[in-house]
């Protein structure tokens, strides 16, 4: 990478980290900044990588920054820059690379922060980032080694046992999945003729026609993405829709629908016949839903901007999909910022919201209709506990067995629900449950 490109990469990553600190997601921050400054667009992949690595390693980076600048109260403006500087230097190879990275950092640092940056640059290389304090507990040590909050490590130890928990916490990337979109491929799941030359970049998932593991970069498929021929979606998210058993001609309510991955998958299973009402409260994410559903040729979905806890939707539905916001403990690898927000309070807050969505949806389920509830969280409070509480107060619903050949049974006795784990299944960490209204 040239010196100019390095400066642009650092500049974009620094700005993106500041947006993430204000609540944006990693990808939307990069996308928004690259769109508003076209000079930065050609380094957006490198910048996203740098942002993700910096957020993944945030705990260790913060220790180094604190040691170098002990008397600083690190403000929201400076901390992202200092974390970024530390990450870059920690991964520098040789003196020339160190100098190049230092120059790149100086180029983007506001002049008032330069003296502190110099102190930091002077101390990073002498630091052992993996020094474990002698007083650390076992969970604290694993937390430092795997870059997770200690409370999450303790939680995983309790849930899975120490050795399996370490496997889960040490899995820092999973494969990416890509699927042929039959709605734009004359109803077929076979590889479109135009894309056959890229067959070597794909490995079939034998259980599901049209689903592939992607070996390499999605950018090689960009022309086909713009024609709507492919959809990128984690396999677990696809399996959640499959578990709901959507059929052509059915009416489906898709709650918490943006940015539309599940809406599009629903329309594919339904062969664009029937009706989908997709609800999400975020105007901007519903703009992304509109782009995605239009790209993928979805003809049967209607967008509704509204609160899933107070639904202003009429009629009844054969299937209601609830894909609520959650702590994201199953997708920390792709959204590392989320792991540093995890707390008992946040777990409680999400679980209560999820319960409200389930209760609000119930009156809209048709006779013998289904609720498909799923999250990309591993925490029992957001999964089995939500389902158990729901079943206690809705005796007319029962759990249906699903996806027997995938993943593992649900926990806490809910063995007909399914769980998928990154270290066992090479997917996002996911929970999937199907409940049917009975007589």
Ligand X SMILES: C[S@@+](CC[C@H](N)C(=O)[O-])C[C@H]1O[C@@H](n2cnc3c(N)ncnc32)[C@H](O)[C@@H]1O
Measured from the CB of residue 323, what is the shortest distance to ligand X in angstroms?
4
- Cβ atoms within 10 Å, residue 68: 20
Phi then psi for 128, rounded to 5 degrees? -95, 105
Told to check if 234 binds ligand X by CB under 6 A, we report no
Measured from the CB of residue 120, what is the shortest distance to ligand X in angstroms?
37
Measured from the CB of residue 348, what is the shortest distance to ligand X in angstroms?
16
Q: Would you call 96 exposed, middle or buried from its count of C-beta atoms within 10 A (0-12, 13-18, 19+)? A: exposed
Nearer to ligand X, 281 or 340 (CB): 281
Between β-strands 397-400 and 275-280, what pairing exists: parallel, antiparallel or unpaired?
unpaired
| Binding mask of the shown chain, residues 244 to 283, with x at each position contacting ligand X by CB under 6 A | ------------xxxxxxx----------------xxxx-
Nearer to ligand X, 279 or 386 (CB): 279
Give the three-state DSSP class for 325: coil
Measured from the CB of residue 278, what is the shortest distance to ligand X in angstroms?
8
Nearest to 278 by CA among 130, 287, 334: 287
From 326, 374, 376, 417, the catalytic residue: 376
Phi then psi for 175, rounded to 5 degrees? -65, 160
DSSP letter assigned to residue 245: -
Q: Which residues contact 438 (CB under 8 A, 6 or more apart)?
A: 368, 396, 397, 398
Measured from the CB of residue 394, what is the shortest distance to ligand X in angstroms?
20
How far is residue 343 CA from its own chain's centroid?
Answer: 18
> Which 55-94 residues touch ligand X, going by CB under 6 A?
none
Task: Give residue for tokens 């921050």.
Answer: 29
Q: What's the half-sphere exposure (Cβ side, CA atoms, 13 Å) at 6?
A: 19
Nearer to ligand X, 141 or 285 (CB): 285
DSSP letter assigned to residue 304: E
| Binding mask of the shown chain, residues 278 to 317, with x at each position contacting ligand X by CB under 6 A | -xxxx--x---------------------xxx--------
Nearer to ligand X, 283 or 439 (CB): 283
Measured from the CB of residue 343, what is the shortest distance to ligand X in angstroms?
18
Nearer to ligand X, 15 or 262 (CB): 262
Taking CB atoms, the residue at the shortest distance from ligand X is 256
Query: Rounded to whole angstroms, how far apart are CA atoms 243 and 259?
Result: 20
- For the question of residue 374 being annotated catalytic, the response is no
Query: Rounded to whole angstroms, how far apart are CA atoms 223 and 201?
Result: 15
Nearer to ligand X, 325 or 410 (CB): 325
Q: Would you call 207 exposed, middle or buried from its count of C-beta atoms within 10 A (0-12, 13-18, 19+)? A: exposed
Say if CB 117 and CB 83 are below 8 A apart.
no
Q: Which residues would be at the binding site for ligand X (CB under 6 A)?
A: 237, 256-262, 279-282, 285, 307-309, 323, 325
- Which residues are known catalytic residues? 376
């Amino acid at each position: 990478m040239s010196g100019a490109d390095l400066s642009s990469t650092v500049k974009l990553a620094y700005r993106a980290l500041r947006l993430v600190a204000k609540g944006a997601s990693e990808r939307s921050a990069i996308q928004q900044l690259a769109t508003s400054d076209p000079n930065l667009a050609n380094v957006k992949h490198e910048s996203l990588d740098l942002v993700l690595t910096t957020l993944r390693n945030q705990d260790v980076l913060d220790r180094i920054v604190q040691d170098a600048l002990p008397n600083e109260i690190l403000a929201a403006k400076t901390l992202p820059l200092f974390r970024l500087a530390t990450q870059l230097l920690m991964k520098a190879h040789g003196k020339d690379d160190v100098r190049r990275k230092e120059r790149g950092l100086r180029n983007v640092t506001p002049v008032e922060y330069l003296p502190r940056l110099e102190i930091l640059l002077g101390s990073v290389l002498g630091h052992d980032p993996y020094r474990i304090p002698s007083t650390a507990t076992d969970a604290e040590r694993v937390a430092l080694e795997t870059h997770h909050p200690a409370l999450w490590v303790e939680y995983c130890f309790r849930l899975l046992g120490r050795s399996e928990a370490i496997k889960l916490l040490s899995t820092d990337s999973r494969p990416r999945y890509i699927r042929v979109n039959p709605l734009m491929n004359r109803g077929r799941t076979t590889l479109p003729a135009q894309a056959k030359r890229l067959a070597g970049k794909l490995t079939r998932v034998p259980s599901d026609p049209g689903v592939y593991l992607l070996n390499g970069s999605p950018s090689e498929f960009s022309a086909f993405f713009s024609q709507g021929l492919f959809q990128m979606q984690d396999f677990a998210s696809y399996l959640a829709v499959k578990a709901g058993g959507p059929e052509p001609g059915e009416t489906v309510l898709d709650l918490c629908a943006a940015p539309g991955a599940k809406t599009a998958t629903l329309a594919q299973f339904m062969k664009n016949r029937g009706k989908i009402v997709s609800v999400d409260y975020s105007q901007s994410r519903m703009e992304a839903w509109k782009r995605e559903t239009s790209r993928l040729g979805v003809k049967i979905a209607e967008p509704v901007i509204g609160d899933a806890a107070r639904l202003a939707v009429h009629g009844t539905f054969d299937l209601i999909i609830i894909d609520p916001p959650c702590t994201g403990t199953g997708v920390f690898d792709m959204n590392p910022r989320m792991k540093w927000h995890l707390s008992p309070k946040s777990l409680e807050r999400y679980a209560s919201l999820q319960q409200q969505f389930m209760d609000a949806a119930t009156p809209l389920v048709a006779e013998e209709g289904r609720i498909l509830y799923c999250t990309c969280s591993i925490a029992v409070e957001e999964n089995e506990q939500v389902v158990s509480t729901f079943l206690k107060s809705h005796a007319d619903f029962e759990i249906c067995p699903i996806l027997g050949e995938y993943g593992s049974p649900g926990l806490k006795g809910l063995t007909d629900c399914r769980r998928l784990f990154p270290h066992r299944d090479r997917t996002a960490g996911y929970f999937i449950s199907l409940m049917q209204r009975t007589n």
